[in-house]
Amino acid sequence: MPRHSVAMTAAHHHDLRQHLFRDDGQEDICLATYTVSTGSYRTTRLITGIELPRDGEREVHGNATITGSYVLRVAAQAAREQRGVVIMHSHPRGHRWQQMSAPDADAESSFAGLVEQLTGLPLVGMTLAGDGAWSARVWVDSKPESATSVRRVGATLHTSWNDGLVPSPADVATQARTISAWGENLHRDITRLRILVVGVGSVGLDIVQRLAATGVLAVGVMDFDRIEPLNRDRMIGATRRDARLRRRKVDIAARLARQAATAETFTVVRHHDSVCSPTGLADALDYDVIFSCVDRPWPRAVLNTLAYADLIPVIDGGIAIDTFETGGMRGATRRSQTTTPGVPCLACTGQIDMSEVALEMSGDLDDPEYIRRAGRTSVSGRPNVAALCAGVSSAQLDQFVSLIAHPAGLGVPGALRFNLAVHHLEHLPHLTQRYCATEGQTNFGDGRIDLTRSSGPWSAPNRPRMRWRGWINLIDRILESVANRGP
Ligand SMILES: [Zn+2]
Ligand SMILES: [Zn+2]
């Protein structure tokens, strides 16, 4: 069965609250439209517009009802815009995920067939509880299929979970100290988030272990690269043997995450792929939050796009170490930023240079001759130091905690820059640029600009050719299991 979820911007949530919560305490109702974001196994409906009732299109009498002409009007408009229709109503005295009452089910089912016929997309029903929690179902073949979650995305991320489909973690005793930081209810919401770490080199490898230790139930790791001896001075936890066997970085990340995990049932999903490929992108769309730990412009640009188009916050970070020609360190600059609706994107803050994205897509960014002629510096092989990588993961995790636990009621800041030489942290004053194409595609879902390609560096064979490989791997596994058995 396909899994359904629903997402909306914080701005839409705010406007819907204004309408659906009445001063007289009665239920209210309205319609909205949606677009679709199709992942590998999850389909997310993204709220695109609110269509408030006109005079005579709805009645409030304890619970609220709408007229067929209101549904027809909005469905016809949605059909022209290739969107679907949502019926939303409120349960002012409800808490958390709501079940449908018999009149709710009757009302929604009576419109489901008509709406699907007109728009070609199933009707979505949603309920807003008094505590701000949403619940949702998708009417497929006149039957309601419950969504797994509804998320509200902006400078803060709030997710309401369907406990029946995504159970709250059973035992959280080992996470008592974590819970005392942000409370048990929020902890149970946070640990059910599906979090993807894209790029599990120095920084991503650290982040994934800290997410696992926090008690998160499901983490994804995505990287198409394999470890080399040259990576070991930054990939903490990777062994000499990993490097000798050129193991996949996702396998190393999965092993370390499992060792750090505190959840009783912990799942780590390995994607040996690039987010720049259509399969990698579809896998990424199954997640609720993404850490961008890549150091190249193209995957950054893809992630920047889906943060807005698919309402999945992307937490980006990086470091640039500046050296003298004669050797020696001039300085280091660390940046961190969460891209999410309401906050400027990576292109507006200068973190992505779109001309570099085009160069990388054409392959020229890795052509030494081109780079020399163009007077550019190479993207790969830049200096990096393990001691400074921890600061990058820390800055990204700070952004994560602001996003999900919103200390002091505040969400993520704008872009931050730390200058190591003078130990100064700056809030960069960037605003959304007037013609920003990325933020203009908020809620576009599958209609987003497609930056993926079916072939690229990830599709080239990077498996080392080694005679006796099978035997070496087997002996290696035996040695490792003996070593891990411990005293
Ligand atoms: Zn109801
Ligand atoms: Zn922008």
pLDDT digits (tens, 9 = 90+) for 419-471: 999 999 999 988 888 889 999 999 999 999 999 999 888 887 655 555 666 77
- How deeply is 63 buried, as exposed, middle or buried, from its count of CB atoms within 10 A (0-12, 13-18, 19+)? middle
Same domain, 88 and 234: no
Kindly give, in sequence order, each residue whose CB lies less than 8 Å from that of residue 315, ignoring residues fewer than 6 positions away: 289, 290, 291, 292, 336, 337, 338, 396, 399, 400, 403
Residue 177 has pLDDT above 70, yes or no: yes
Residue 172, in any domain of the structure = no
- How deeply is 326 buried, as exposed, middle or buried, from its count of CB atoms within 10 A (0-12, 13-18, 19+)? exposed
pLDDT at 230: 82
What average pLDDT does the structure give for the chain?
92
Residue 233, in any domain of the structure = yes
Structure tokens at 57: 């299109």
- For strand 416-419 and strand 329-339, is the pairing parallel, antiparallel, or unpaired? antiparallel
d(CA 422, CA 173): 42
pLDDT at 485: 63
Same domain, 139 and 15: yes
Same domain, 13 and 70: yes
Structure tokens at 336: 């961190």
d(CA 279, CA 110): 38
Ligand nearest to the CA of 339: 2
Same domain, 287 and 146: no
Same domain, 234 and 99: no
Higher pLDDT among residues 420 and 480, named by residue: 420
CATH number at residue 205: 3.40.50.720
The domain of 320 spans 183-462
d(CA 395, CA 207): 10
Ligand nearest to the CA of 101: 1
Find the 15 Cα to ligand 1 centroid distance in Å: 19
Same domain, 155 and 191: no
Find the 107 Cα to ligand 1 centroid distance in Å: 10
Residue 167, in any domain of the structure = no
pLDDT digits (tens, 9 = 90+) for 330-363: 999 999 999 999 999 999 999 998 888 988 898 8
List % helix, strand, coil for the chain (3-state, nearest 5): 35, 25, 40
Find the 41 Cα to ligand 1 centroid distance in Å: 29
pLDDT at 487: 47
Asked if 2 contacts 41 with a C-beta cutoff of 8 angstroms, the reply is yes
Find the 241 Cα to ligand 2 centroid distance in Å: 43
Find the 127 Cα to ligand 1 centroid distance in Å: 7
Ligand nearest to the CA of 342: 2
State the residue for tokens 């890549």.
294
Same domain, 109 and 193: no
Find the 34 Cα to ligand 1 centroid distance in Å: 21
Same domain, 234 and 327: yes
Give the end of a domain, one of 128, 161, 194. Answer: 161
pLDDT at 429: 87
Find the 191 Cα to ligand 1 centroid distance in Å: 29
CATH number at residue 39: 3.40.140.10
Find the 342 Cα to ligand 2 centroid distance in Å: 10
Same domain, 380 and 273: yes
State the total domains in the chain: 2
Q: Three-state DSSP class for 388?
A: helix
Ligand nearest to the CA of 350: 2
Q: Which of 170, 73, 93, 175 is nearest to 133 (CA)?
A: 93
Find the 11 Cα to ligand 2 centroid distance in Å: 17
Ligand nearest to the CA of 29: 1
pLDDT digits (tens, 9 = 90+) for 386-417: 899 999 999 999 999 999 999 999 999 999 99
Residue 60, in any domain of the structure = yes
Residues whose CB is under 5 A from ligand 2 (ion)? 345, 348, 436, 438-439
Mean pLDDT is highest, among 229-238, 325-334, 370-379, for: 325-334
pLDDT at 476: 72
